[in-house]
Each structure stands twice: as C-alpha cells, then as structure tokens.
Structure 1
Amino acid sequence: MIRLLPDSITARTSMLFTLLAALVFSVMGLVIQASINRHFVEQDKTVITGKLELINNILQNATATDNTTRIQRQLSSALVGHHDLVVRVQNSAGQDVFMAGHDRLPDAAMMTATGSLALRSWSDGTIAYRLVVTDILMSDGKPEWRVGIAINTLHHAKFLAAFERELLLIGSGGLLCMALFGWVAIRRGLRPVQKMAVVAESISAQRLHNRLAIETIPIELESLARAFNAMLDRLSDSLERLSAFSSDLAHELRTPVNNLMTQTQVLLSKPRENDDYREVLYSNLEEFERLARMISDMLFLAKADNGLIIPHRETVQLASEITAVLDFYEALAADKSLTLNTSGQALVMGDALMLRRVISNLVSNAVRHAYPETVIHVAVSTQGNEACLTVQNVGDTIPEQHLPHLFERFYRADGARQRTEEGVGLGLAITRSIVFTHQGKIKVSSQHGMTQFTITLPLA
C-alpha cells in the first residue's frame, strides 16, 4: 500500500499545517476578490446612475424647438471629464442623436431597455460592458428617448488579474515561510520526545536510575513523562525484588543441598552398618521433603502471579474453618503454654482448602512468635458487605520499617532467626496471593507488643 504521508511526525504535521494554511489563504483570497469586484460594481453603478439622472434632466427639459445640435452640445458639456463612459442616445425613431466615448455601444446592447436602474453585463465576445439601457418618457407617458450608458470593464479585469497574480505570489511566499517556520517550531516542540528517547536508550538492567525532568516537560507531555518515570520505578523495584528473590532462593536451596551432599559424603567415606544407612536416608528424606515443599510453594506463587489460580467457588463458613485449624494447632500451642480462642462467624464465597491454608499460615505464624502464657485470638466480624478476619498474638513488636515487606518472598524481620524454625519464608507471600485471588485484602499492624493480621473478603 502506497503511503500518502511521510512517516516523520514533523514532516506530516508540517504538511498538514501547510495544507490548512493554504485552505485558509484560498478562502481569504476568494473573499477579497469578491469584495473588490463588488466594490467595482457599486462604483460603476454610482457613476452610471449619476450621469443617467443628468442626461434625463437634459432630455426632459428639451423642447420641440430644440434642435439636435443643441442637445448634443448640452450632453457633451454634461459628460466632460468622463472619458471612461460610453453613451448612446436614440430618439423614438431609433436614430442616433448622441454618442460619446472611445467605443460605440453596439446596436445589440441597445435593443432592450431594462426599465430600471439595475446594472447588467453584456459582451459581444471581444468587449465586456457593465451598462444600463432605459427609455425616457415624456409628459404624456410616451417614450421619446432611449439612453444607453456603459462602462468598459476591461480595466477592471486587468486590475483583478494583476491583483490575483500578486495575491498568489504573496500567498505562495507566505505558505513557504509558514511551512519552514512550522517545521522548525514542531521540531523544537518534539525535542522533549527526543530526550525521552535518549533516556530510554540509556536504560539497561544496570542503569535504571535515569529519570525525565518533569519541570522541563511541556504540559501536553507531562502525563506521558510521569507515566514513563513511574514505569522505570516499577521496573527498578521489580528488578531489585527479582535480584533479592534470586539471592534468597539460592541461599534457601543451598542449605538442604549442602546437607544432602555432606551427609552422603560422610556416609560413603567408609563402610557403615545398615542402621547407619537407614538413619542417613531418613535424614535425606526430610531434606527432600523440605525441598519439595519449597518448590511446591514457589510453583503456587508463580501461578498466582500469572492469574492461573482459579479457586473452586463455594459457600465457606469461616468459623468452621477456624475451629478446624485451631484444633490442629492445639497440641503445639499447649507445649508453649498458649491459649487459642475464636469468636464470630461469617459466610464467604471461595475455595475452602485455600482459605483454610490462609488461616493455618496466620495461626502458625502467631504460635511461632507469641509469648508463652498468652492468648492467640482469631475473630470474625462483618462490615457492610465484607467479612473481616483478624488474628492477634502478643509478642515482640515488629519494627514499622519491616511491616510493608512481611508479605515478600523469603523476607524475615529478624535475619538472625534460625531458618529451620521458621520454614522457608513463603507462608505470608502465599497467604497474600490466596487473599488477592479471592478479591480480598490483607494488612498487618504491630504496636505495643500486639501484632494483628487483618483480612477482608466479600460476603457470600
């Protein structure tokens, strides 16, 4: 397909701007031409009407005793100084009584009287006139004279032709100037876009710090520049989290792999009894199970990030799921002298197994970090069209700077804690993914030794 316009925005805009200016100039030229032509018509009408009134007075006052010579002399005196006029007077018999001007008004033009002072145009193919032909009536109402007054419009046509040429020349020059200045102006106007392109070209995985200066960007491109900077912020944040995730993942995988290698190397260093082999295999099995759980959790998070987790929708009684989870952790809580209790109930739509996993992760986290001889309280309430589930425990206050990162993968508020006691650090990340999949929200607060996780879900 043939391109009608160039690919360059500058050239395309300049061309359209020039075409628009040409259209405006053309309309202006036509209006000016019509105005000048109308002015000539009005000017000719004024001159012809004035002379016609003067001739009418002379002929009306002529008596029967006046001879032709006297009438001609009076008409000649009345037309002194009007060499551009062509006048022809005929009597009632059609005989010429008086003629004046460089041209002779043709007989064909005198054939029909208009009966009014309206101008009409007439041409014999070589000469164009603007004229008035009328009959002068005597006192008895009979036409005595026929008068034709005309102006040769040749000089008007020459003036208009010269004016059109000058107007075309001026308009062409103006269009060229406008095209040039428009190209320069558009080129300068698009300079911020070129700067954006330079910044975009300089971006790499190692250089994500460059940003566009919003204060130097035109208003029309300000929203684009802000979106561009926001995109770079998101890319930088994602890259940092990906780098941290890769580092944490390598560290988490290194520990069980090193354990497996060390135990196997020690086992193979010399002959062992069957019980020794069996003990090492059981130990390796535990490490394999840990790796399997980690891989399963990572696969779950990957599916959640890509919207591939579609929960089985059913009506879920939160109180029943909470009771089942608390029954499971009752023995572990008793070992730490903790009390588990619950209150409230609500119905939500969702996947019962996934929601139970959410509750289990939060309760497990609370049991792990709660002070001995304290209470872990799981409460359910309704607020409007949402169900609110809270899990509270008394323990160390989590510093505020750590709260926004608790739901990140492999993140721990205290890096000195033993990882074997706390799992692999994916529980809260999985919890958030499940809550988001159910169109819910989750947040955490920690003040004065009280840590509370709050989940809101749509009511059934």
Structure 2
Amino acid sequence: MMLKPIRSLELRLTLLVTGCAAMVLCGVAFMTYLGINQILIAQQDRALIERIERLEILLQDSSNIEQIIARPKLYQNMLGNQDNLFLLIQGDQALISINPLGIPLPEFTHQPQIQFQDLSAHAYPTRIAWKTIQINRQPYLLIAGKQWSERLGIIAPFQKSLVIYVFTGILAIFILCAIASHLGLKVLRTLREQTHAINIQQLEQRLNLPYPPQEIAQLASDINAMLDRIELGYSQLNRFSEDIAHEFRTPLNNLIGQTEILLMSERSPVQYQEVLISNLEDYQRLKRMIDSMLFLARADAQKVCLNRQKIQLQSFIENIFSIFEYQAEEQHCNFVLKLEATELLADPEQLQQALYNLLSNALIHGGKRRTIYVHSYRKIINKLPMIALSVVTSGLEIAPEHLPHIFERFYQCSSSRQSYHQTGGLGLSIVASIMTLHQGMYQAINSAEGICFELLFPDT
C-alpha cells in the first residue's frame, strides 16, 4: 500500500526542519557521548599509568620487592577494591598475582613503554596496562588493571539522560517549527484569499500583500502580471466577439433585407439576377472572414504545417504585383521593388498570403497616387541574422498610439468600417500569425518614406 504524499506545506516545512534538527541533535549527542567516554577512558588510563609508575618506583628498591613477594596480601590490601588487578611476573613465574575476580590474561610481550588493552570477553570487562621494567638488570613484567564498572557506572546514566534530552529537544523543535510555519505562511493564506476573490467580473483586482517576503512578493508580482495579460486577453476576446458579430451582421442584414424586398412582389429575371449577384458578394465576404478565422484558429493551435522552400524573391514578388496591376492603375499607384537579399527560406503559400494582405492593405488605405515600396535586406536582431521584407506606403502615417495594436484582430484605427469589405479586419492578424509560424518577427513603424510594415524571417 503506497503512502499518500503530504499535501500541507506547513506540515512539510515542520517535518523537514524537525528532521534536519533531529539529525543535528543526534549527531551532537553521539559526539558528546563519545567525547565523555573518551575522557573517562583517558582518566582510567592515567590512573593505570600512575599506578604502574608508583609500583615501578617502589619495586626498584630490592628490599621492597622482597617484602611484597613475601607478603602479597599487603599490597592487595593497599589496592583496596576487588576490581583492581596487579601482577608482577619474572620469566614464567608470577611473583605477585592479585586477581580476585580471576580475569583470564592474554600472552604479553615485553615492551619498555606502557601498553593498553581491553579484556571484554570476560564477565567482568577490564582494561589493563603493562610494562617491562628492569630490576637489578632483570626483566620484570608489571601488569595493572581496572574494571570498566566505574566508567560504565558514570556513562550509563549519562547515556539515558542524553536520550531523554534528545527526544525532548526534537519534540520542542517540532512544536516551535509548527508555530513558526503557521505564522510564516500567513502571507500565503492571504495570497490564496485574495486570489480566490478574483473572478471574471473582477479581473481588474490585483494582489496587494502587506510586507511580503521577497519570494512571495515576486510570486504576487508574477500573478498580477498574469492577471494583466488575462484581462487584456479577455477584453480583446470581448472586442473580437463584438467585431465578429458586427462583421457577420452587416452582410447577413443585407442578405435578409434584399431577400425580403425580393419576395414582397413579383420581379423580373433581370432583377432576380441583380439581387443574386449582390448576394454573391456578401456570401464571398462571409466566406473570406470564415476562412480567415479558421486559419487564425489553426495557427493558434499550431496545426498549420509549413512547407519551407528556397524562394527567389524577384519573380515571386513580381507575380504578386501582377495580381494588383489593374487596381493599382485605377488608383494611379505604382510598385517599386528593391532587393538586397534575393532568396528567402519560407512557405511559399503563406508568404504569398502575407504579402498579398500587406499590398492589399496599402492600396485600400493608401488611396490614390501612392508609391508602394517592397524592400528586402539583412538585419541582425539580438545577435541573430534575419532577412527583412518591408512594405512601405509613401506619404501615409499611422498615429503612434495605434501602432502597438495594429496587428490585433478586428482592430481599427478609426470607427469607420467601410474598408473592412476586403479583409474583414483580419488581414494584419493573419500576417502576424504567419510570421509567428515562421518563428519570425513583425512590426509597423512610421518611417521617413511612409508607414512601413516589416517582416523579419530567420536567416538559416
């Protein structure tokens, strides 16, 4: 059975900090225990060293050694406790053997320096020290020992107290961390409450936290920025919906009105034909708008597949010019083509659509007697090589406040919709989507020559 993950951030922080503190406390307690144990062992070793040194000084006098050998009980009484051990060995003979508990001894090597060893296999664990001394130029093995009972009597209660202190400390840390987490995360609860209060009717509301930590302040700032984008997108969506309704309503009203008038009385075949021709224009307008919106929807969903090819710009753009030849003659407009970059990697169909929309837009909004320039050149944008295509309409400018929004769907610089009959207000939006599909950039700027629509393609 799998354990469910802990969802509460407050509990997670409490457990995480408590766990880290518990590891630190256990580590400190363990090091303290080892330190105390080493101190007690060092004290015991010093006592054994002092005992061996005193006995060595005492045994250096030949009369003393004879008295101790003759009366070992005397020295045993001097040692006192039964946990003490003392042996004096010459060769294979134990001259003095004080071992009241019968501790089994290992084989000893003759060493001029004091050596230590723990005897833990016996029921009475003992620490011994031994040293080889010279008496009357004869080697004697001097052995002294002391049981662990005294050291264990000190360390055992300390160990129990240490365990109690550690568990008490962990519990106290858990409680303090729980309180600190609850107080520290209050700003998150405030953030949640304010976020929960925002709905579709209150998109203008923003998060306002009193003295938030830096991380929470950054999060609140990011959420506010997201709300700005949502509010902007929602307002654009509302405007888009209104514009769609308006654009659809105009041709539909025309169709309904003309049909109603046609049905009011008998008409001649010529009149029927005229009405049908008029209706056909409205049908074509509706179809263009629907096709444009379908393309934008597919482009937004990244469902448009590009067929990138090397395009020779000279012949490609001249073919597009030929489409507008008669319209340009009627408006007394002319095209000027200047190509510094002659090739471009792009989808031919999409590039044709983008240039078609820009040239159509230039003719519709430029009016009569304009020169429309189409240039290609190379640029470096953010250290990336780009190929730029620009369409400039001479003597025409757009107010600066409209430039950032000119590529938005159904955006209009004026309240008049008379010019929408050609593109349905979606021509520049389609250009923007085509450039996004090509991972390029686009912009509209007022230049010295006139309004310039610049398309930037990656030069790969």
TM-score (norm 2): 0.85
Q: Could you report, residue by residue, the CA deviation over 1:393-416 in whole angstroms, capped at 9, with x for unpaired residues?
A: 234431101011111111111113
- 1:197 pairs with one of 178, 188, 192: 192
Q: Could you report, residue by residue, the CA deviation over 1:376-407 in whole angstroms, capped at 9, with x for unpaired residues?
A: 22223344753322222234431101011111
Structure 2 residue aligned with 1:15: 15
Contact 1:88 1:105 in 2 (8 A): no
- 1:119 pairs with one of 116, 120, 124: 116
Q: Could you report, residue by residue, the CA deviation over 1:186-212 in whole angstroms, capped at 9, with x for unpaired residues?
A: 333433433343344233222223334
Distance 1:28 1:253 in 2: 78
Structure 2 residue aligned with 1:218: 213
Distance 2:4 2:246 in 1: 60
Structure 1 residue aligned with 2:418: 418
Contact 2:443 2:453 in 1 (8 A): yes
Structure 2 residue aligned with 1:251: 246
Q: Could you report, residue by residue, the CA deviation over 1:235-284 in whole angstroms, capped at 9, with x for unpaired residues?
A: 22221111110010001111111111111222222333333222222222
CA shift at 1:430, angstroms?
1.3
Contact 1:62 1:71 in 2 (8 A): no
Q: What SS does the aligned partner of 1:63 have?
A: helix
Distance 1:91 1:325 in 2: 119
Distance 1:391 1:62 in 2: 122
Distance 1:5 1:282 in 2: 69
CA shift at 1:136, angstroms?
5.6
Distance 1:325 1:293 in 2: 19
Structure 2 residue aligned with 1:209: 204
Structure 2 residue aligned with 1:299: 294
Distance 2:67 2:206 in 1: 103
CA shift at 1:177, angstroms?
0.7
Structure 1 residue aligned with 2:264: 269
Structure 1 residue aligned with 2:128: 131
Distance 2:440 2:58 in 1: 106
Q: What SS does the aligned partner of 1:400 have?
A: coil
Structure 2 residue aligned with 1:58: 58
- 2:344 pairs with one of 342, 348, 362: 348
Structure 2 residue aligned with 1:170: 165
Q: Structure 1 205/73 Cα, relative in aligned 2: closer, same or farther at 3 Å?
A: closer
Q: Structure 1 389/155 Cα, relative in aligned 2: closer, same or farther at 3 Å?
A: same
Structure 1 residue aligned with 2:353: 357
Contact 1:87 1:147 in 2 (8 A): no
Q: For 1:425-436, list aligned pairs within 5 A.
A: 425-436=425-436
Q: Could you report, residue by residue, the CA deviation over 1:332-365 in whole angstroms, capped at 9, with x for unpaired residues?
A: 2232232332222611122323322222221222
Q: What SS does the aligned partner of 1:379 have?
A: strand
> What is the RMSD computed on CA atoms of the aligned residues?
3.5
AA in 2 matched with 1:439 = Q
5+ residue gaps, structure 2:
none
Contact 1:369 1:395 in 2 (8 A): no
Contact 1:112 1:133 in 2 (8 A): no
CA shift at 1:319, angstroms?
2.0
CA shift at 1:13, angstroms?
3.6
Q: Structure 1 278/139 Cα, relative in aligned 2: closer, same or farther at 3 Å?
A: same
Q: What SS does the aligned partner of 1:315 have?
A: strand
Distance 2:370 2:164 in 1: 96
CA shift at 1:83, angstroms?
6.5
Q: Could you report, residue by residue, the CA deviation over 1:216-245 in whole angstroms, capped at 9, with x for unpaired residues?
A: 443344554444333322222221111110
AA in 1 matched with 2:84 = V
Q: What SS does the aligned partner of 2:369 have?
A: coil
Q: What SS does the aligned partner of 2:431 have?
A: helix
AA in 2 matched with 1:427 = G
Q: What SS does the aligned partner of 1:401 have?
A: coil
Q: Structure 1 95/286 Cα, relative in aligned 2: closer, same or farther at 3 Å?
A: closer
% identical equivalent positions: 27
Distance 1:251 1:25 in 2: 73
CA shift at 1:95, angstroms?
8.1
CA shift at 1:295, angstroms?
0.9
CA shift at 1:70, angstroms?
10
Distance 1:225 1:331 in 2: 57
Distance 1:299 1:236 in 2: 24
Q: What SS does the aligned partner of 2:200 have?
A: coil
Structure 2 residue aligned with 1:141: 138
AA in 2 matched with 1:391 = V
Greater alpha carbon shift after TM alignment, 7-16 vs 296-305: 7-16
Structure 1 residue aligned with 2:322: 327
AA in 2 matched with 1:26 = C
Contact 1:441 1:456 in 2 (8 A): yes
Q: Structure 1 382/171 Cα, relative in aligned 2: closer, same or farther at 3 Å?
A: closer
Q: What SS does the aligned partner of 1:414 have?
A: coil
Distance 2:263 2:412 in 1: 36
CA shift at 1:151, angstroms?
3.1
Contact 2:83 2:101 in 1 (8 A): no
AA in 2 matched with 1:141 = Q
Contact 2:364 2:419 in 1 (8 A): no
CA shift at 1:308, angstroms?
1.7
Structure 2 residue aligned with 1:454: 454
Q: For 1:22-171, list aligned pairs within 5 A.
A: 22-63=22-63, 86=84, 88=86, 105-108=100-103, 115-116=110-111, 117-122=114-119, 127-132=124-129, 137-141=134-138, 143=140, 148-171=143-166
Q: Structure 1 110/376 Cα, relative in aligned 2: closer, same or farther at 3 Å?
A: closer
AA in 2 matched with 1:361 = N
Q: What SS does the aligned partner of 1:131 have?
A: strand
Contact 2:388 2:456 in 1 (8 A): yes
Q: What SS does the aligned partner of 1:150 have?
A: strand
Distance 1:64 1:187 in 2: 77
5+ residue gaps, structure 1:
none
Greater alpha carbon shift after TM alignment, 322-331 vs 83-92: 83-92
Q: Structure 1 344/91 Cα, relative in aligned 2: closer, same or farther at 3 Å?
A: closer
Q: Could you report, residue by residue, the CA deviation over 1:75-119 in whole angstroms, capped at 9, with x for unpaired residues?
A: 699x59x869836566879788797xxxx6345457866645323
CA shift at 1:74, angstroms?
9.0
Distance 2:353 2:170 in 1: 74
CA shift at 1:290, angstroms?
1.2
Q: Could you report, residue by residue, the CA deviation over 1:28-87 in whole angstroms, capped at 9, with x for unpaired residues?
A: 22222222222122212222222322222223213399756997899699x59x869836
Residue 367 of structure 2 is aligned to residue 376 of structure 1: no
Structure 1 residue aligned with 2:255: 260
